[in-house]
Amino acid sequence: MSPSSRRLYLDNAATSRPKPPAVADAMCRYASELGASAGRGAYAEAIETGELIHECRRRLNRLFHGERPEHFVFTLNCSDALNLAIKGLLGPEDSGAHAICTHIDHNSILRPLHAVEERGWTSVTRVPVDPTSGLVDPNDICNAIRPTTRLIAITHASNVTGTVQPVREIGRIARERGIPFVVDAAQSAGHVPIDVREDCIDLLAAPGHKALLGPLGTGFLYIRPGIETILRTIREGGTGSVSEQAVQPDFMPDKYEPGSHNAIGIIGLSEGVRWVAEQTIAKLAAHQTELMQTFIDAIEDVEGLTYFGPRGVADRVGVFSVRVDGYEPHELSAILEGQFGILTRSGIHCAPLAHEAIGTAALGGTTRLSFGAFTTLDDVRYAADALTQIAATSRVHASTMAARG
Ligand SMILES: Cc1ncc(COP(=O)(O)O)c(C=O)c1O
C-alpha cells in the first residue's frame, strides 16, 4: 500500500484542530494593535485588553450558566485548574481529610490527589467503574462518603473510553452533603451541555484548547460563589490591584490570578467560545452523535477490531479507544499515519486506572481516535475503512510475527 498524501487529524482529545478562523484573527489583532498587559496601565490598549479578557469570562459564564463572570479564573490548561481546585481544598490545614475520585479519572485528578495523599494530608478512595461502559455508579460514590470527605472529583467525559458520567446525579449527592464537587470537563466542555447550577458543580475545570476551540496555553476554573471562602490560592504574586497589601487580594478573580495574563491566548479562546455558543452545544452534540453512530456502525462487526467504552452513542463523546488484534497500539498509530494519513494517539493516555478497568493496561493501552467540531462524516467513514483494512491484514501480520519468533 502506498503512503497517503491525505492528513486527517483525529486527535482532538489532545487539542482541537482546526480552530475557527476568528480565533487566529483576534490573536493577530491583539498582537499587532494592542499588545498590552491588562490591569497594568491606564492607557487605552491596556484597558481594551482588560475588557477583552472580561468578555471571555462573560462568554464562559453564559455558556456554562455560571453565576458571575469573575468567578471564571484563567489557568494555563485544565491540569493547572485541577491543581488549584484540589490543592486549594486539601492542604496541611486539612490534615485527616478524605477525598473521592474514580478509576476513570485522568492523571490531572489522580496525581494531585496522590500528591496530597503522599504528604499525609488526605486519604483517597478511588471508586471503580463498570469495565465495559466505564460508567461510575453514583451509589458507589455515595457509599464511599465519610464524615471527613472534603472533595468529590470526577472526569466528566473519559479521554480513554469517551464515557460521559452522570455528573448531575453525583453533583446532587455532593451538594446534599455539603461536599465540594470538582468536575474535570476536559473532554466534555464544548461537546455536551454543562450547566454548573443544575449540575451542582462547585468547581468546573476545563481546557480552553480542546472543544472550546481556543489556543494551547488556555484553561479555566469556575469557582461557585461562596467556594472562594474555602479554596486557598496556591500561588501568590502581582495582580495590578491593592499593590500596597502584603497579602494576595481576597476578591475575584485576582485571588487566583497572580501575574500577567495570557492575554493573546484568552482573546483567542473568547472567539472559540463565541463560535461554540453561536453554533449551540445542542447542534455540536448532535453532530458528534452522528459521527459516533457512523463510526460505530462501520466498525462494530469487524473481526479482530475492538472498541472500548459504552456500546452505542448514549453516555459517550466522540473519543474512541480501539485495538486491532496482532498490533501494538503504537504500531497501529504508525500504520494509520503512514498508510492512511490519519493522526491518532496511542498508549495509556495519562489515565492508568481507566486502562486497568478496561483491561488494556498490561497491553500497552489503546489507539485513540477523537473527533472534533470540524470532523466530517466522510472523515469518520475513511477512518473506519482504514481500520477495517488493517484488521483484515492482522491475522497475516500475527502469523508472520509468530514465525519470526
Ligand atoms: C480528561 C482529561 N483531563 C485533563 C486533561 C488535561 O488537560 P490539559 O492538557 O489542558 O492540562 C486532559 C488532557 O488530555 C484530559 O483528557
pLDDT tens for 274-284 read 999 999 999 99
238 pLDDT more than 60: yes
14 CA closest ligand 1 atom index = 14
Q: Report CA-CA distances (Å) from 36 to 45, 46, 254, 403.
A: 6, 5, 18, 65
Ligand 1 geometric centre to CA of 207 (Å): 7
pLDDT band at 137 (very low <50, low <70, confident <90, very high): very high
| Torsion from C-alpha of 312, 313, 316, 319, nearest 10 degrees | 90
Q: Which residue has the cell 492607557?
A: 43
151: left (phi over 0), alpha (psi -120 to 50) or beta: beta
Ligand 1 geometric centre to CA of 57 (Å): 20
Ligand 1 geometric centre to CA of 261 (Å): 21
Ligand 1 geometric centre to CA of 122 (Å): 23
124 pLDDT more than 90: yes
Q: Say if CB 237 and CB 100 are below 8 A apart.
A: no
Nearest CA to ligand 1 atom 8: 78
108 CA closest ligand 1 atom index = 4
Q: Say if CB 133 and CB 280 are below 8 A apart.
A: no
| pLDDT at residue 227, as a whole number | 98
Q: What is the mean pLDDT of residues 241-257?
A: 96
| Torsion from C-alpha of 87, 88, 93, 97, nearest 10 degrees | -60
Q: Is the CB of 78 under 6 A from ligand 1?
A: yes
At 43-90, the pLDDT tens digits run 999 999 999 999 999 999 999 999 999 999 999 999 999 999 999 999
| pLDDT at residue 202, as a whole number | 98
Ligand 1 geometric centre to CA of 17 (Å): 15
Q: What is the mean pLDDT of residues 159-180?
A: 98
Ligand 1 geometric centre to CA of 210 (Å): 9
397 pLDDT more than 90: no
81 CA closest ligand 1 atom index = 11
Please choose from 155, 191, 350 the residue to mutate so as to test ligand 1's pocket, defined by most ligand atoms within 8 A of CB: 350
Ligand 1 geometric centre to CA of 79 (Å): 6
Please choose from 101, 108, 167 the residue to mutate so as to test ligand 1's pocket, defined by most ligand atoms within 8 A of CB: 108
Q: Is the CB of 112 under 6 A from ligand 1?
A: no
- H/E run at residue 275: helix 263-279
Q: What is the pTM of this model?
A: 0.96
pLDDT band at 401 (very low <50, low <70, confident <90, very high): low
Please choose from 11, 15, 75, 79 the residue to mutate so as to test ligand 1's pocket, defined by most ligand atoms within 8 A of CB: 79
Q: Is the CB of 310 under 6 A from ligand 1?
A: no
155 CA closest ligand 1 atom index = 1
Q: Is the CB of 159 under 6 A from ligand 1?
A: yes
CA atoms within 13 A on the CB side of 16: 30
Q: In what order do the strands lie in the sheet with 305-307?
A: 305-307, 319-324, 366-370, 345-347
Closest CA to 79 of 9, 155, 23: 155
- Which segments of 308-348 are extended strands (E)? 319-324, 342-343, 345-347
Cell numbers of 10, please?
483525529
Percentage of the chain beyond pLDDT 70 is 97
